[in-house]
Amino acid sequence: MTEPTHDEAHGGALGSRLNWLRAAVLGANDGIVSTAGLVVGVAGATESRSALLTAGLAGLLAGSMSMAAGEYVSVSTQRDSEMAALALERRELRDQPEAELRELTDLLASRGLSREVAREAAEQLTARDALRAHARVELGIDPDELTNPWHAAWASCLAFTVGALLPLLAIVLPPAGARLPVTVCCVLAALAFTGWSSARLGSADPRRAIPRNVAGGALAMAVTYAAGSLLGAAGA
Ligand SMILES: [Zn+2]
């Protein structure tokens, strides 16, 4: 069939754990930025604590459910195409085992084994579990470890909620006069941390990732605060 194209071929347990961690950090980052923008915008328009709590909580729920639904759909689609690829592979193994053995031999040889060793390895892998060998070498997936869409949905829902709680608590807990400075400081510090974490997990340079991430959050809060202040002033 096709050559392995995606990195998961080189992944494994550590790779998939890193992917989960990165997804969690990104989900939390989303929760922080969108909820911070929301509550700071409302704070620009009103001093009412109940309005802030209502807006923040609604934003948290809407965002976490939207994240969960999006993740469920995208992982389900990926899983469907992996299942279809496995089904095709199963059919090919049944209908043309010789061609499949040659294919596995070629793939192993293209990874640096000599023809004889590749043939021997292909025969042994085929004798043990042909489908699994083809799934891993050819498709780069592990048939026993396909991502569960429900797990992915729950994880991103949880990550977003954890992130969203920070600006929500920071805006409703302090007295009215301290709300904005407390929220802005907490949010920017948290974004520095998530920027640092995602850079480290992706082996990128944190000195570039942190300012970008912090600037993005600062911009979001500045824009919604300006819009909230304008609307608040117009309504008053
Ligand atoms: Zn195959």
pLDDT for the residue 9: 41
Residue 6 is given by DSSP the state S
Let me know if residue 11 belongs to a domain: no
Is 113 a domain residue?
yes
Query: What does the DSSP assignment read for 124-185?
Result: HHHHHHHHHHHIIIII---TT-PPPHHHHHHHHHHHHHHHHHHHHHHHHSS-GGGHHHHHHH
The pLDDT score that the predictor gives to residue 12 is 57
**For the chain, how many structural domains are there in total?**
1
Residues of the chain with confidence (pLDDT) below 50: 1-11
pLDDT per residue as tens digits for the range 84-105: 999 999 999 999 999 999 999 9
Structural domain boundaries, residue 218: 17-235
Give a yes or no: residue 2 inside a domain. no
Distance 23 CA to ligand 1 centre (A): 31
- What distance in angstroms lies between residue 1's CA and the mean position of ligand 1's atoms? 6
Residue-wise pLDDT for 188-223, tens only, equals 999 999 999 999 998 899 999 999 999 999 999 999
- SS3 of 2, please? coil
**130 in a structural domain:** yes
Distance 138 CA to ligand 1 centre (A): 6
Q: Is residue 10 part of a domain?
A: no
pTM of the model: 0.79
Q: Which amino acid is at 24?
A: A
Q: How many angstroms does the Cα of residue 101 sit away from the middle of ligand 1? A: 8
